[in-house]
Amino acid sequence: MMNFYFNIKKNILFFLFGIISFSFYGCDDFNPLDFNVFSVSDDKELGKQIDVQITSNQQEYPILNQPSATTYVQNIVNQIINSPEIEYKGVFDYRVKIIRKDNVVNAFATPGGYIYVYTGLLKFVDNEATLAGILAHEVAHAERRHSTKRMTKAYGVQFLLDLLLGENPDQFAEIAANLFTGLAFLKNSRDDEYEADEYSFKYLQSSIWYPGAMKYFFQKVGDNSGNSFLEGLLSTHPLNEDRIAQYEILISNAKLAPPNENNLFSNRYIQFKNTLP
């Protein structure tokens, strides 16, 4: 734990040095808030800490104890991270856990590649390619390091400077409490969602699955958007017509042929869903 905090302070030092350097040389294109004060190692350590919280809270996050189901979903992720677009294969864990809640249609990823999928989502999806698109989307959140980038922006330069200089020791306790309490920081911005959609599509282009199958998920969510069981999904993964339009553009630009059973795997997925409790 102390190494984690030491790394944060070290990265803050490099961050502030970068701001000073770019300001001195007058680089107008530099945006310090795009910087991530957390290292890749910090992402991995933070993911481990959150995983401990999740697995120890069985009331809120009851983990499904069905190895065959977990293996099925994990195998999809294992194939996704074989994409040449993946940067942190072998660095991040990319480990799947299924949360047994049929009334929650959602999935999320923590820093470091820990991926959690609700049974409600598995039962909501209609084919394997769509699930692969969703899982690739969560992989993209980890790969693009969205959570720690948002935390860097949220605290701001003055907060990080005070933390580094030790002028307000209570702030160090504050950042620790905010990092390790709850999952509120996992809420995605619209820009994060657009980028994760784009990279999900890229990852699947070298896979066995139809890369455009996320479109079917968006359409089904839109058709059921008034239902309460989608509230959690829509609070962490904002959905609007622009996202659907963006996917249509990706499909068009890639000149994809219409999907078929050989790249949607609907029948195989139905068989899998029938094994779920």
Catalytic, 138? Answer yes
Kindly list the distances between the CA atom of residue 258 and the CA atoms of 131, 211, 217, 243, in Å, as whole numbers in the listed order: 18, 11, 16, 20
Q: Which two tokens stand for residue 89?
A: 């294969």
Task: For 223, list phi and psi in degrees, rounded to 5.
Answer: -70, -25
For residues 164 and 183, what is the distance between their CA atoms, to the nearest angstrom? 25
Q: Which one of the listed residues 45, 138, 193, 195 is annotated catalytic?
A: 138
Strands (E), 47-112: 95-99, 107-110
Q: Tell me how long the chain is.
A: 277
Per the CB < 8 A criterion, the answer to whether 140 and 203 are in contact is yes
* Crossing angle between the packed helical segments 146-165 and 128-143, to the nearest 10 degrees: 20
Bridge partners of 117, per DSSP, are 98, 107
Greatest distance between any 2 Cα atoms in the chain: 62
For residues 144 and 85, what is the distance between their CA atoms, to the nearest angstrom? 11
Question: Which residues are part of the catalytic machinery?
Answer: 138
